[in-house]
Structure 1
Amino acid sequence: MATFAFYILEFPAGGTGTAVSHTANELIAAGHQVIIYTARHCTDQYPKGYERLFQVVIVPTMDPDTDENLDFLCQHIRENHVAALVVVAMHFYRIKVIKQNTSCKIVYALHGCPFYEAKDFSLNWKHWYDRWLHNGMKETLPIYRNTIDAADRYVVLCEDYAKMLVRKMRLSKANAQKLRVVPNGIETTAVPSLNKEKIIIFVGRLSLADKRPMRMAEIWRLIYQRLPDWRFVIVGDGPEKENLEQYICQHHIERMVFAGFTNDTVSFYQKASIICLTSQYEGWPLCLAEGQAYGVVPIAFDCTAGIRDIISPSKENGVLVPSYNCKAFADKLYRMATDAKWLARMRENVVKKAKSYTMSRNSEGYRKVLEELISD
């Protein structure tokens, strides 16, 4: 059996870290050895009762491209006979150095939607689309080309993301053949409570570029007075919390409360009726899938293929809203909260759909990719 490694800057933070930790344990169960390389080991973020079977190794710097970091990785990879390294959700410009100095195969795992960086470049630009098209993509494409040229395999979350890469990058046949689709998964042992309270939740990091949490406050401000029996609970923490608190206070918005960061999201999923996501972009948001497993009906902007994969068909497994239209989002959310029969019907549907999101589909996908590589 082989030794495989994953390289992720912060671990096991967020949905990406959760997916990696489960995949690592499944690979070990299949007889392989697994090493996790990380710059920041967030030991307080393992799920309650989680059994860690893999080795965690701290790399010297947060920047993966420093000489110190690369020397450390190459030496450790050689000493431990790592057959393949999965680089997870970060830009690693000097990834070729590892290939030149070790016999290790490289897999790059894109855990977001392709070209999300272009949206970051244009964060404060009023002509968002034009700048994304002309400037953002101009700066982003070379980053992707460098990675896909260096990698032996390039993993994305859904088929539409693979098609987007081929189309936007005009990939050669050789590079297109490196693409593999490995969907995310969740623990599907949830026992949902269908006796829900009148609670709307957000679960995730309060960060500006991707999550855009201020939109939640703007949306809730439009409808909270018409929903006197409902509460909006924000489960998570992050740099935008202070701005969000100021906005809520400034506009005297009622029944929007902060629960803070917690490892026990299940208790919120069990009570909540609706989960909201107002992100600018997402890969394949675990919070929506996890919510569905517990009977929480999602509503989100239709901004990426990963979100569509979870919610489609809209109005049956949740609600998709035209991207970034907060008024339309508020109208749909109000209808969900006031149409009990429709919400109950969707609740039954999402519980059934979530059973297809098995963690094994993710771990099995990576096992196939890695074993395929070392057998070449």
Structure 2
Amino acid sequence: MRNILFIIGTYPSYGGTEKVTTVLANAFAKRGHSVSIVSFVQPNPELGEEELEPSIQLFALNYPLRKKSNIPLLEEIIIDKNIDVIINQWCLPYYVTLLINRARKQKNCILISALHGVPDQNKRLLKILHYKNNTNNLILKQFYTSLHAAMLFLTGLNLKYVYMQSDLYIVLSKSFIDIFIKLSKIKNNNKLISIANPITIEAPLTFNKNCQESKKNEILFLGRMDYVNKRVHRVVEAWEQIYKKYPDWKLVLVGDGPEKNTLESYVKSENIERIFFEGFKKEAPIEFYKRAKILMLTSDLEGFGLVVIEGMTYGVVPIVYGSYSAIYDIIENGKSGFITTTPYSKDKTVEYLNKLISNEELYRKMSEEAYDKSQHFALDRIVAEWEGVIEKVYNTKIRHLSFK
């Protein structure tokens, strides 16, 4: 058994990385490991009490994280808890790793860095591309092109530094490995592996005809509503094209964010019927997954797409914009869901919606396939992968130190 310390920027909180951290931490604790979590910002402390195993300890560092006081604070935690393994869930920016390495000098623990996104994509880069694509000014367009290239170069330097300073570096998809190597320009990739995110909600042990019979004619979107990233307006616009054909169907939007008011105004002004805005839900959205037949995700930026796997565990058939390569790990296109290729096509999205809604036999078959595919991301399987690599890297480092 190992003493494991997670380091994350914001925790406890409601984001995807935060949820994955909670689920992994609980699983490690239940398997007998000693687990602690360190964060720099703690916006929702009540979640720690509600969701974490009682044995897991939470520690707070100071924000901004470059404060010198963070080094002795983190060092004290590492030594006091006799940490064997540090899992860095916030490996961009590089100075989190710099802080960790300064704090672990007195303790021979291993550092595993986990990137929860696509190596060459992030919100900052996406915003720059958005500005570039939405201006007709040639000077501004060239400026944003140059700025994007510069930021991409800096991202590569960050990736390389953290990789070189870590004992193991984990990305979410095998398809991210080549992207990482190309961007970071590392010469040796023997410390670079992929481990997928696990299912983070309570999942049914089986999925059968009775589960399908309890479904409603609902299309579901679940997530944060922001324009630059999630592009929820695409879901609304696709529904606008088909809702008159299917009067017994409805669209349910679960979540909150800066685009929500704009979407509500658009729906009202265009008199689009049977769209229900459910707002943010603190509790797990299992009831929505149980009812929905189709899940839509039309984001320009996703790291992995936990909501897709979560829905699939309840037989919800996903229609996802293939803006990120990890989605091909999750969905077998045309079998366990549909992936629309880049650039985004509303027509293709509508085509897949029509196929699923109008063909009950197709829906039922794909629903079963979606459930089966989701089992590749079962928590026990993913945690076993983590434990295997932790032991391998830890034992390798200990052997190396013993020969010094």
Aligned to 2:35: 34
- Tell me whether 1:3 sits opposite 2:10 in the alignment: no
Structure-2 residue corresponding to 1:163: 178
Offset of residue 337 of structure 1 = 1.5
Of the three residues 128, 149, 155, the one matched with 1:121 is 128
Cα 1:25–1:2 change in 2 (3 A) is same
Matching residue within 117, 130, 154 for 2:169: 154
Across the two proteins, how many residue pairs are aligned to each other?
A: 372
| Equivalent in the alignment of 1:251 | 270
- Contact between 1:88 and 1:111, CA under 8 Å: does it hold in 2? yes
Q: Does structure 1 conserve the Cα–Cα contact (< 8 Å) formed by 2:224 and 2:256?
A: yes
**Equivalent position amino acid for 1:58 in 2:** A
* Counterparts of residues 63-212 of structure 1 (less than 5 Å): 63-94=64-95, 95-102=97-104, 103=107, 104-117=109-122, 118-126=125-133, 134-173=149-188, 176-186=189-199, 187-192=202-207, 193-195=211-213, 196-212=215-231
| Other structure's SS at 1:67 match | coil
**Which residue does the alignment assign to 1:303?**
323
Per-residue deviation at 1:198? 0.7
Provide closer, same or farther for how the CA distance between residues 326 and 226 of structure 1 changes in structure 2, counting only shifts above 3 A. Answer: same
Q: Aligned to 2:341, which of 303, 322, 344?
A: 322
Percent identity between the two aligned chains? 27
Asked if the contact 1:185/1:358 (under 8 Å) is kept, the reply is yes
The code of the aligned residue for 2:190 comes to Q
Q: Is the CA contact 1:292–1:351 (under 8 Å) kept in the aligned structure 2?
A: yes
Deviation at 1:136, TM superposition (A): 4.4
**Correspondence 1:275-314 to 2 at 5 A:** 275-312=295-332, 314=333
Please list every run of at least 4 consecutive aligned residues from structure 1 whose deviation after the TM superposition is greater than 4 angstroms. Answer: 43-52, 127-133
**Contact residue 4 and residue 84 of structure 1 kept, 8 A:** yes
Counterpart CA distance in 2 for 1:135 and 1:228 is 50
> What's the RMSD between the two structures over aligned residues?
2.5
C-alpha displacement at 1:12, in angstroms? 4.6
Q: Which stretch of the first structure deviates more once superposed, 180-189 or 345-354?
A: 180-189
Deviations 1:48-75 (A, max 9, x none): 87745411222222x4333343443233
Distance 1:208 1:66 in 2: 34
What amino acid maps onto 1:123 in structure 2?
H
Code of the aligned partner of 2:192: L
TM-score, normalised with respect to structure 2: 0.84
TM-score, normalised via structure 1 length: 0.90
Candidates 350, 365, 369, aligned match of 1:349: 369
Q: Look up the equivalent residue of 1:126 and give its one-letter code.
A: N
Structure 2 gaps of 5+ residues are 135-140, 398-404
1:242 to 255, 261, 278: 261
8 Å CA contact 1:278–1:300 kept in 2: the answer is yes
CA distance in 1, matches of 2:67, 2:129: 28
SS in 2 for 1:290: helix
Specify whether residues 353 and 131 from structure 1 end up closer, same or farther in structure 2 by C-alpha distance, changes over 3 A only: farther
Distance 1:139 1:121 in 2: 14
What amino acid maps onto 2:353 in structure 1?
L
Alpha carbons of structure 1 residues 334 and 52: separation in structure 2 relative to 1, 3 Å? farther
The answer to whether the Cα contact below 8 Å between 1:9 and 1:90 also exists between their aligned partners in 2 is no
1:184/1:361 contact within 8 Å kept: no
Deviation at 1:370, TM superposition (A): 2.5
8 Å contact kept, 1:190–1:294: no
Question: 1:230 aligned to 2:249?
Answer: yes
SS of the aligned residue for 1:281 comes to coil
Please show how residues 48-67 of structure 1 align to structure 2 within 5 Å.
51-61=53-63, 63-67=64-68
